[in-house]
Amino acid sequence: MTFEYGDSDLPTGTMAGGSSQTASIIAAVTAAHEVLLKEMLKLAGNESPLSGLRAKDVESRDGGIGHRQDPGRHESYVAILRRAGRDEVSAEAAAPMPAEMIKYSMHSYAAQFCEARVSDVTGEVRISRWLGSFDTGRIVNPKTAASQFRGGIIMGLGLALTEETLFDERSGRIMNPSLAEYHVPVHLDVPRIEVMWNDIPDPHSPMGVHGIGEIGITGVGAAVANAVYNATGKRVRELPITLDKLL
C-alpha cells in the first residue's frame, strides 16, 4: 500500500486547518480499503479460509485479511494474489460527505482546571498547576495528541496573561511588533501541564476520530480568569489579565 499527498499532480485535497485533515484522509483511505476488501475476497476464491465471507465480516491485519471474530480464518495478501496469478490489486474510491455535514453535529470537548497564585504586593499572576481533560473521540497517536493538547494550553496561557497587540492610536502602528515586546509563554512561564482523555470512538466519524487542533486552547482563558477571581475577588473580563487590572 502506498500513500501520496501534497503533490501538484494530485487533485485538490483537504486543507490543513479546522481540525479536518486526519478525519478527511481517514475517510478516503477507509472508502478505498472497503473497495479493496471486496476485490480481494473475489480473488480469494473457494479454496481460501475466507471463502463465503463478505467485506463487513473481515478486516485487514497481520499482512492479510482475517475474520473479525474468528482469528483462525486468515490469509495473507501474498497468498491470495499468488493463487489468483496476480502481481497487484489496486482500488480507488472517493470519501463520502462527512456525516456532520448531513445529519450529526460532531465536536470535541474539554474541561480545563488550574491553580493560580497572585502576589498581593505586585499583582503578578503565576499558574502553578494545570489539568486539561478532553473528549475528542479516538486518539490516533497519543504522543502527538498530548503535545497538541499541551501546546494549545500554552497558547491559551499567552492569551490569558501575556499576549496583547498594542497600537499607537495616532498612527495605527503596532507598538510591539517583535517577540522582544510581544510576550509569548516559554517553558519557564508555564507549570507542568497534565492532560487526559477518554479515548471513546465516535460511531459516526471515520475511525471514530474528532479534530483536536484547537480544543486545547478553548477554555484556558476562562479557567485562568476564574482562578484569579477566586484568588483576588476581582472579575477581569478583558484579556490579558495584566497587573493594572488587578491592583
Closest among 242, 235, 196, 226 to 116, alpha carbons compared: 226
What is the set of active-site residues?
Answer: 214
CA 140, CA 5: separation in Å to the nearest integer? 19
Instruction: Count the neighbouring beta carbons within 10 Å of the beta carbon of residue 58.
Output: 24
